[in-house]
Amino acid sequence: MPNINDLNDYITPQDVRDGDVITFEDAGEIVEVDYSLAKDGSDIKSALQIHVKLPDGKVKLISPNKTSRTSLSEAYTPMSENWIGKSAKVCLVKQNVRGTLKQVIYLEPANGGQEISDQEPKEPTEAI
């Protein structure tokens, strides 16, 4: 039976479960997004949009919120190209969004960010 969520390019809370692990597929891009209700350009903000692979293998876009970006950048560095291949745990939280209680996706580094250990720059060695 077809799932209409498959037609959406962006990840939704219906695509994942609390505790799922997703993987960053690319470095993403920073784009200008109009967050105004009327879509009249009155609330334009920069947003990171990045492709992630879901547990079912599908690849969708996500625009991590500020809390998620902070957590991920502390573990994986602020440069999103360092996130490629890294994992994040999905946390679904009910939150008031513009007066309506909605499920919101937060991301935190999977395994407490331990994956960064293989990406840390090494100290330069002196030639003898």
Dump pLDDT digits (tens) for 39-68: 898 999 999 999 999 999 999 999 999 999
Nearest to 121 by CA among 69, 82, 72: 82
How many Cβ atoms are within 10 Å of 94's Cβ, its own excluded? 10
| Whether pLDDT at 6 is above 80 | no
- Give the per-residue pLDDT at 86: 97
The tokens of 107 are what? 């991301």
Residue 18 in any domain: the answer is yes
Residue 119 in any domain: the answer is no
CATH code assigned at 51: 2.40.50
- Give the per-residue pLDDT at 128: 45
What is the overall mean pLDDT for the chain? 88
Which residue would you say has higher pLDDT here, 119 or 73?
A: 73
- List the beta bridge partners of residue 31: 47
Number of domains present in the structure of the chain: 1
Residue 126 in any domain: the answer is no
Question: By residue range, what is the domain housing residue 92?
Answer: 4-35+42-112
Residue 78 in any domain: the answer is yes
- Give the per-residue pLDDT at 8: 79
Tens-place pLDDT, residues 63-102: 999 999 999 999 999 999 999 999 999 999 999 988 999 9
